[in-house]
Amino acid sequence: MKRVVERQRLKQEPHLVWNAFVDLLAMEEYDDLSSVQRKAHLVFWYDSEVQNGGHGQYLENRGVNRLAETVAALRDLGLTCQALLLSRAVEALADAEPGADWADALDDSLIDELDAAFHRCTPTVTEALEQHLARHADEYVEEQ
């Protein structure tokens, strides 16, 4: 799955590649994406949710089913700090009673700590996604 960008417009508006990239990540279903796109999709949604409401919002909106894949995707994109933070949540969830809801399994102080630490991580997710797009633009955008 790719987005099409007009070559003529792209010369004058190079940001159209980024816009097409973000549109694909935000609008397409995980199962419809290639393996390269899936990594960026998971990282994009992790960042979007945490930026807008913290790890609690991320877990509430995205669930816990793809946490291990998201940690791996963060690592693959060079986001070691963010991967370590999400791994802490994964470990806390693993220690909880089977079937426990994430909100019951994770202490509010842990969520607050993860949220604060997230904003100190470098590189930022946006920087990593920009580098990922530069390396894999042909996976996302087709020029016409």
**Domain range for 14:** 3-143
Alpha-carbon span 125 to 77, nearest angstrom:
9
Task: Decide if pLDDT at 11 tops 90.
Answer: no
pLDDT at 3 over 90: yes
Q: What percent of the chain has pLDDT over 90?
A: 88
Q: Which among 54, 71, 60 has a CA at the least distance from the CA of 116?
A: 54
Query: Does the pLDDT of residue 114 top 90, yes or no?
Result: yes
Q: Residue 8: what pLDDT?
A: 87
Number of structural domains found in the chain: 1
pLDDT in tens, 34-79: 999 999 999 999 999 999 999 999 999 999 999 999 999 999 999 9
Pair 43, 77: CB distance under 8 Å: yes
